[in-house]
Amino acid sequence: MRALIAVLAGDGIGPEVTDEAVRALGAVARRFGHEFRFESALLGGAAIDATGVALPEDTLALCRRADGVLMGAVGGPRWSDPNAAVRPEQGLLQLRKALGLFANLRPVAPHPAVLGASPIKPELLAGVDILVVRELTGGIYFGDKRRSDTDAVDVCRYTVAEIERVVRLAAGLARARRRKLTSIDKANVLETSRLWRSVVDRIAAAEFPDLEVEHMLVDAAAMHLLRRPRDFDVIVTENMFGDILTDEASMLAGSLGMLPSASLGERARGGLYEPIHGSAPDIAGRGIANPYATILSAAMLLRHSLELPAEARALEEAVSSAIVRGTLTADLAPANVTPATTRAAGDAVLAALG
Ligand code: IPM
Ligand code: MG
């Protein structure tokens, strides 16, 4: 197969981790006889520095043409003045919105070889396999915003159609897994959550009677995720709750550096794939960041946008065997083990791919 993959390295550790994911995709292409063409473009702080805007038109045009988009991370202290007119994060939010990527899939499955890296007791982690589906183009992230000297407002709005499409997608994914769907909201306080809950109930009854569907308040969910993580299968939730809960859930996997994500719209083609972690300015440029989340995001690109499931599995297995062989970056390595560099982790994946 021939495919065009847009690469948006972004800021901080973004370039280091996307380099390794591109190398891994190149190795997959060689092994399976595909032709992947990579084209890079600017996003986030790097784009602001070069062009004055966080999402340049060229970047968006490339992403629209591409079969899949691989992204690193955006943001950093250089651009985080609260009074700045443009912010790196706006570029990513505009990109998600412009591409219609309403569903963000964030799988959380702790690797058995690194349970010790998690702050959670290992006996709670064995067998954890969660898929969080985060609504990505609505809610408080995209509602009207304004600020004066004495107050500020962020509007949280959801339409029925926005809730329906992400709930349908999540329920469909649950059907192919363990058939349990947990919808997380704050229906005891928020009107948007009460609408969310009623849409979930209606769709579940009419279209997914075979699923076990439960509702959970977000504060309780934050607790249950750590207390009994094995009980979750597919979680569906609104934009900001999903953002927060997945950083929390990453601790089940031992590190933020382990969680990939896929952002999908109505069509398989043209999804956006990025690690859930940020730009980690504190370690940027030192070659020590964990590239596995980005490489696993590249595997999701193979599966969801290029529809190459065997290739996706091969890449995931290569990451797994790199981990099993003990190639662990600083975020994963036990105290008595010398941490691997970003490049060494990428090399281990390439070696495992053969
Ligand atoms: C994420 C990030 C982004 C978000 C930021 C960088 C805008 O935290 O993808 O989880 O909040 O969606
Ligand atoms: Mg986040």
Tell me the per-residue pLDDT of 329-342, one tens digit each, with 9 for 90 and over: 999 999 999 999 99
Question: Which residue bears the tokens 């929390």?
Answer: 248
Q: Give the span between the Cα atoms of 163 and 198, in whole angstroms.
A: 10
Question: Which residue bears the tokens 């849409």?
Answer: 199
User: Which residue CA neighbors atom 6 of ligand 1 most closely?
Assistant: 89
What is the average pLDDT across 226-237?
98
What is the average pLDDT across 41-67?
98
Of 16, 9, 12, give the one whose Cα is nearest residue 76. 12
21 lines ligand 1 (CB under 6 A): no
Question: Which residue bears the tokens 């946008």?
Answer: 305
Q: Decide if 18 contacts 41 (C-beta within 8 A).
A: no
- For residue 213, pLDDT over 90 is answered with yes
Q: Give the span between the Cα atoms of 9 and 7, in whole angstroms.
A: 6
Q: Give the span between the Cα atoms of 313 and 326, in whole angstroms.
A: 20
Q: Active site residue: 19, 67, 141, 331, which one?
A: 141
User: Which residue CA neighbors atom 1 of ligand 1 most closely?
Assistant: 276
Tell me which of 11, 55, 89 to substitute to probe ligand 1's pocket, judged by most ligand atoms within 8 Å of the beta carbon.
89
Q: What is the predicted pLDDT for the residue at 270?
A: 94
Q: What is the predicted pLDDT for the residue at 268?
A: 85
Q: Which residues contact 204 (CB under 8 A, 6 or more apart)?
A: 171, 181, 211, 213
Tell me which of 48, 102, 243, 276 to substitute to probe ligand 1's pocket, judged by most ligand atoms within 8 Å of the beta carbon.
243
89 lines ligand 1 (CB under 6 A): yes
Question: Which residue bears the tokens 């790196």?
Answer: 88
70 lines ligand 1 (CB under 6 A): no
Q: Give the span between the Cα atoms of 306 and 336, in whole angstroms.
A: 41
Q: What is the predicted pLDDT for the residue at 346?
A: 98
Q: Distance of CA 271 to CAs 69, 106, 279, Å?
A: 6, 14, 21
Tell me whether residue 243 is one of the annotated catalytic residues: yes
User: Which ligand 1 atom is the nearest neighbour of the CA of 247?
Assistant: 10
Structural element, H or E, at residue 196: helix 191-207
43 lines ligand 1 (CB under 6 A): no
Please write the tens of the pLDDT for every residue from 84-102: 999 999 999 999 999 999 9
Cα(199) to centroid(ligand 1), Å: 25
User: What pLDDT band is residue 127 in, cutting at 50, 70 and 90?
Assistant: very high
Interhelix angle 14-32/309-324, rounded to 10 degrees, is: 120
User: Which residue CA neighbors atom 11 of ligand 1 most closely?
Assistant: 243
Cα Rg of the chain, angstroms: 20
Domains and CATH numbers, the chain: 1-100+269-354 (3.40.718.10), 119-253 (3.40.718.10)
The model's pTM is 0.97
